[in-house]
Amino acid sequence: MHKKISVILFALIIFAIPLISLFLPYQKISVQENRMLADFPKFNFDEFTSKRFMKGFDDFVSDHIAFRDQWTTVKADLVTDIGKRDNKGVYLGDNCLIENIASPDPSVYQPNTEAINAFAKKINKPTFLLLAPTAAEIERDRLPAFATTYDQSEFLKTVGENLKGVALINTVSTLSAHKNEYIYYRTDHHWTSLGAYYAYTQVGKDLGFTPLAYSDFEITHAAGDFNGTLYSKSGYRSITSDTIDFYTAKNGSSLQSLVIGSGDDAKTYNSIYFKDWLTQKDKYSAFFNGNQSIEDIKTNGQGKNLLVLKDSYAHSLVPFLMNHYSRITMVDMRYLVQPLDEVVKLKDYDQVLFVYNVDTFNTDDSIQSIN
Amino acid sequence: MVFSSLTFMYVFLPLVMTIYYAAPKRIRNLVLLIEGMIFYAWGEPVYIIVVMASTVMDYLYGRLMDKYKGSKKTMKALIVISIVSNLGILAVFKYSSFIIDSVNGIFRLNIPNPHIPLPVGVSFHTFQSMSYTIDMYFGNIAVQRNLVSFCTYVTLFPQMVAGPIVRYSEVEHDINKRVINFHTLDEGVRLFIKGLAKKVLLANNIGAVWSTIQATQASNLTVVQSWFGILCFTFQIYFDFSGYSDMAIGLGKMLGFTFPQNFNYPYLAKSITEFWRRWHITLGMWFRYYLYIPLGGNRCSKVKQIRNLLIVWALTGLWHGASWNFMLWGLYFGVIIILEKFVLRRFLDKIPGVIRLIVTFFLVVCGWVFFEFDNLSKGFAYFGAMFGVKSAGAINSETIYQIYTNAIIFVVCAIFATDLPAKALSKISEKATKAVHILTPVAQVGALLASTTFLVDASYNPFLYFRF
């Protein structure tokens, strides 16, 4: 009898899981993981002999298996139960998730540095590089016991030594001074608006404006149930959700227009905050409508024009900078398909600011196409 | 396709089993053949042609041998042709790159290397196929007249890509007639789940630690870390490989086949000779039957016997991959086995078992360093870290982190590498038969579901035998 039970249970599971998967409604995206799920792969002779069909089929099965989110969550719990303190490159810290970013890769960061040097020489305007440290550096104290992560300060020093005609903005000590405050999201790889505020005070010193005091800002709690990218990647579900805050200067300059995109695709908006995102999973996209190739901001303030070449860390920093410039143009080279000088007139700008977090600077080479 | 994948477990397996059981008995071999071909084509959509061609060839050699049984000369010619063509396939698809690079290196030549990709499992199915023609030559088996049945044997999906190496004589009976009942099904389910859990829960988790440590430059490793790392690999390769064999044997049972055992707690061996009787048993048997004994085995002079052992172990090493480190790994064991046979034999019996076990385990663990680094200088650098010649000190916080976050899985691996859990279970089932009968299905479902979670959220799920 017990033999039959084993066999019947086994058969039940291997038949039930595919059948339930087939009958559940088809999902195109995963909200939890914040990504598109794999489509059913194309089948033809070429796709078959090259094994692309099989690879696609495996991805399809894995993405559309019934209860995918639950499996993932249980797995993260299981690995925690057996003593692991990281899953998929994310450390389970003290009520926070911290990404263990890849060690410096000279084959990426050196050409990136040289590209910035060459760009500064070409445009001959004051040029700055803000390399934002990630939580792994600043929140070292909150990593699991004995967990190691590489020294980002040391890395900043190395990059700084190789910069020519470009000033490095180092925010490590400024941020470290506030490391016990809420400066990085607990479940996301970005810094919070507060973290960006502290960085802004440092940026002001280097770019030559007087930053506004903390008390000059009015703070709006835009959303309180934000579960970010590290929540999705790691599968850890026990961390307190994050809050997204918007900082508005009480007597600062106000937005005149925000133009997203270029040429015929350009669209004009009257706010830098896109509140529709706040009801969705990817709430960080509420800043500047997420990752866009080019965004042109005009304010009613009197000031210089600033060109910002950046990754998404800039999205929470630029709202502060807007109080000191009449125009800021943000370009994300990861998403820009045209050459840079086709979409921006370089001579219009008085200063150039590169904003990248250490990880992007180490892993992404799109910045090399600025020249 | 690999067993430890969602595609296999939740698409291929239910479909294949349904069709197989639904099919009338007389066409079941054909059904299995088609299923085996799909299974293999999933990983090698092009090279399946090579496999099928070589299988048909060996079928024909078998038929011819049967026809010319009386003529010694013809038989000899046929077996030579069969061996040459099978080894020829191995030479071209597995060893050509290695041979060309070695010749170029030694003679400073510049022969272009075509870099032919290695078809998965080629070493397993050519060896299986050869077992048929060689046994036909020795007259140990009856001819298989049915082409479908013969092709079914070679392409049996459970053991096609990662063993065990099933000799034709071992399944000759099953190919023609087999029994499936709840007893074999239960045994099959038990072994499949056991193997899956070994692979997915133990091997993959402990292997992830090794993959991090292996990727670190040896001079940045601490002494403790390098030992911990190679011990993690020691467990990974055992649970991965024996898990795969368990799954294969279990699937075989579900289909009505009885495959030979492939592992028998190898880390409990008290000598290297014994280790190889417990590790990848079917490979050792193959080399014994088809190489060592035909060479003269031990029924010849000492010098010849030593020569035979060195040949067998050099080739056993090379079977694991076309690279010098594998040959070195094989010879390393060959030399130890020769020493055990001719020098240490008298002393070994006097040494307490525990000490022999520890020394054997130590030698096996050191062997894995040769196995894992195909770049010899990296392998020796790793030894350097292990023995503190050139390392980053004794211990550091990275080491402590790796050890304490993986301690549970490491200890579980260590326990299950011994026969203690199996012994305990059989003791308990004597006394509490009912409880064990109730808890077994519960444990099986738990293991199956836990393994599934790790497959859905797979961060590290390698196929280790792509070089075999």
Nearest C-alpha in B relative to A143? B401
A96 φ, ψ to 5°?
Answer: -160, 155
* Residue A221, strand partner residues: A245
Distance CA A327, CA A305 (A): 5
A75 in reach of chain B (CB within 8 A): yes
Nearest C-alpha in A relative to B411? A82
**Cβ pairs A/B, distance under 8 A:** 118
Tell whether A164 and A270 lie within a shared domain: yes
With a CB cutoff of 8 Å and minimum separation 6, the contacts of B257 are B156, B158, B171, B174, B178
Check residue A158 and give its pLDDT: 95
Residue B120 has pLDDT above 90, yes or no: no
Rg (alpha carbons) of chain A, rounded to whole number: 23
With a CB cutoff of 8 Å and minimum separation 6, the contacts of A258 are A268, A269, A270, A271, A272, A288, A295, A296, A297, A298
Check residue B459 and give its pLDDT: 66
Higher-pLDDT residue of A289, B107: A289
Is the separation of the CB atoms in B256 and B180 below 8 Å?
A: yes
Chain A residues within 8 A of B182 when measuring between CB atoms: 3-4, 7
Q: B441 is written with which tokens? A: 């299905």
Tell whether A179 and A263 lie within a shared domain: yes
Residue A144 has pLDDT above 90, yes or no: yes
Nearest to B440 among A2, A71, A147 (CB): A2
Tell whether A125 and A237 lie within a shared domain: yes
Residue B224 has pLDDT above 80, yes or no: yes
Determine, yes or no, domain membership for A101: yes
- The least confident of A311-315, B266-270, B408-412, B428-432 is B428-432
A259 in reach of chain B (CB within 8 A): no
DSSP β-ladder status, A255-260 and A267-269: antiparallel
Tell whether A170 and A46 lie within a shared domain: no
Kindly report, residue by residue over A90-104, the tens digit of the pLDDT: 999 999 999 999 889
With a CB cutoff of 8 Å and minimum separation 6, the contacts of A161 are none
Q: Which of A15, A43, A66 is the last residue of a domain?
A: A66
Q: B380 is written with which tokens? A: 């020796």
Is the separation of the CB atoms in B188 and B307 below 8 Å?
A: no
Residue A14 has pLDDT above 70, yes or no: yes
Determine, yes or no, domain membership for A90: no
> In the predicted model, what is the mean pLDDT of residues A349-358?
96
Q: Which of A146, A151, A231, A232 to mutate to test the interface with B (most CBs of B within 10 A)?
A: A146
Nearest to A71 among B13, B193, B452 (CB): B452
Distance CA B408, CA A79 (A): 10
- For every residue of chain A, which 3-state class applies, written as one string? CHHHHHHHHHHHHHHHHHHHHHHCCCCCEECCCCEECCCCCCCCHHHHHCCHHHHHHHHHHHHHCCCHHHHHHHHHHHHHHCCCCEECCEEECCCCEEECCCCCCHHHHHHHHHHHHHHHHHHCCCEEEEEECCHHHHCHHHCCCCCCCCCHHHHHHHHHHHCCCCEEECCHHHHHCCCCCCCECCCCCCECHHHHHHHHHHHHHHHCCCCCCHHHEEEEEEEEEECCHHHHHHCCCCCCCEEEEEEEECCCCCEEEEEECCHHHCEEECCCECHHHHHCCCHHHHECCCCCCEEEEEECCCCEEEEEEECCCHHHHHHHHHHHEEEEEEECCCCCCCCHHHHCCHHHCCEEEEEEEHHHHHHCCHHHHHC
Determine, yes or no, domain membership for A337: yes
Nearest C-alpha in A relative to B408? A82
* Residue A132, strand partner residues: A357
How many whole angstroms from its chain centre is CA B205? 20
Chain A residues within 8 A of B11 when measuring between CB atoms: 18, 61
The domain of A116 spans: 97-370
Q: Which of A37, A53, A75, A87 to mutate to test the interface with B (most CBs of B within 10 A)?
A: A75
A21 in reach of chain B (CB within 8 A): yes
pLDDT-based confidence at B106, cuts 50/70/90? confident
Report the range out of A217-221, B342-346, B434-438 with the highest average pLDDT. A217-221
Q: How far is CA B262 from CA A321, B163, B284, B295, B427, in A?
A: 68, 8, 10, 24, 24
DSSP β-ladder status, A242-249 and A255-260: unpaired
Interchain proximity B397–A17, CB inside 8 Å: no
Determine, yes or no, domain membership for A84: no
Domains of chain B by residue range? 6-178, 184-456
pLDDT-based confidence at B435, cuts 50/70/90? confident
Q: How far is CA B297 from CA B87, B300, B318, in A?
A: 21, 7, 20
Is the separation of the CB atoms in B163 and B244 below 8 Å?
A: yes
Q: One of B125, B183, B280, B320 is an active-site residue; which one?
A: B320
Kindly report, residue by residue over B256-315, the tens digit of the pLDDT: 999 999 999 999 999 999 999 999 999 999 999 999 998 888 888 888 899 999 999 999
Kindly report, residue by residue over B127-138, the tens digit of the pLDDT: 999 999 999 998
> In the predicted model, what is the mean pLDDT of residues B390-400?
88
Which residue type is seen at A70? Answer: Q
Residue B389 has pLDDT above 90, yes or no: no
Residue B467 has pLDDT above 80, yes or no: no
Q: How far is B45 from chain A (nearest CA, A)?
A: 5
Rounded (10°) CA dihedral A170, A174, A175, A180:
160
Distance CA A135, CA A189 (A): 8
Q: For B128-154, b where at least 16 C-beta lie within 10 A, e where not — what string?
A: bbbbbbbbbbeeebebbeeebbbbbbb
Residue B116 has pLDDT above 90, yes or no: no
With a CB cutoff of 8 Å and minimum separation 6, the contacts of A305 are A325, A326, A327, A328, A329, A348, A349, A350, A351
Higher-pLDDT residue of B298, A255: A255
Interchain proximity B405–A85, CB inside 8 Å: yes
Distance CA A212, CA A323 (A): 9
Determine, yes or no, domain membership for A88: no
Q: How far is A37 from chain B (nearest CA, A)?
A: 13
Q: For A333-344, b where at least 16 C-beta lie within 10 A, e where not — what string?
A: bbebeeebeebb
Task: Please report how the helices B168-176 and B147-154 are oriented relative to each other, as an axis angle in degrees rounded to 10.
Answer: 130
Provide, rounded to the nearest whole percent, the portion of chain B with pLDDT above 70. 99
Examine the predicted complex and report whether its ipTM is higher than 0.90.
no
Kindly report, residue by residue over A46-83, the tens digit of the pLDDT: 889 888 999 999 999 999 999 988 998 899 889 888 88
Catalytic residue check, B173: no
Provide, rounded to the nearest whole percent, the portion of chain A with pLDDT above 70. 100
Rg (alpha carbons) of chain B, rounded to whole number: 23
Q: Which of A1, A9, A10, A30 to mutate to test the interface with B (most CBs of B within 10 A)?
A: A10
> In the predicted model, what is the mean pLDDT of residues B322-336?
94
> In the predicted model, what is the mean pLDDT of residues A260-268?
90
- pTM value? 0.88
Tell whether A105 and A250 lie within a shared domain: yes
Domain total of chain A: 2
Determine, yes or no, domain membership for A298: yes
Is the separation of the CB atoms in A174 and A198 below 8 Å?
A: yes
Distance CA B262, CA B275 (A): 12
Kindly report, residue by residue over A209-229, the tens digit of the pLDDT: 999 999 999 999 999 999 999
Kindly report, residue by residue over B30-45, the tens digit of the pLDDT: 999 999 999 999 988 9
Residue B332 has pLDDT above 80, yes or no: yes
Residue with tokens 């200063």: A351
Q: How far is B420 from chain A (nearest CA, A)?
A: 21
Determine, yes or no, domain membership for A33: yes
Distance CA A61, CA A243 (A): 35
Interchain proximity A6–B444, CB inside 8 Å: yes
Tell whether A36 and A161 lie within a shared domain: no
A51 in reach of chain B (CB within 8 A): yes
Determine, yes or no, domain membership for A153: yes
pLDDT-based confidence at B108, cuts 50/70/90? confident
Interchain proximity A54–B444, CB inside 8 Å: no
Nearest C-alpha in B relative to A53? B42
Mean pLDDT of chain A: 92
B110 in reach of chain A (CB within 8 A): no
A43 in reach of chain B (CB within 8 A): no
With a CB cutoff of 8 Å and minimum separation 6, the contacts of B265 are B278, B417, B418, B419
Tell whether A222 and A301 lie within a shared domain: yes
Determine how many CB atoms are found less than 10 A away from the CB of residue A312. Answer: 21
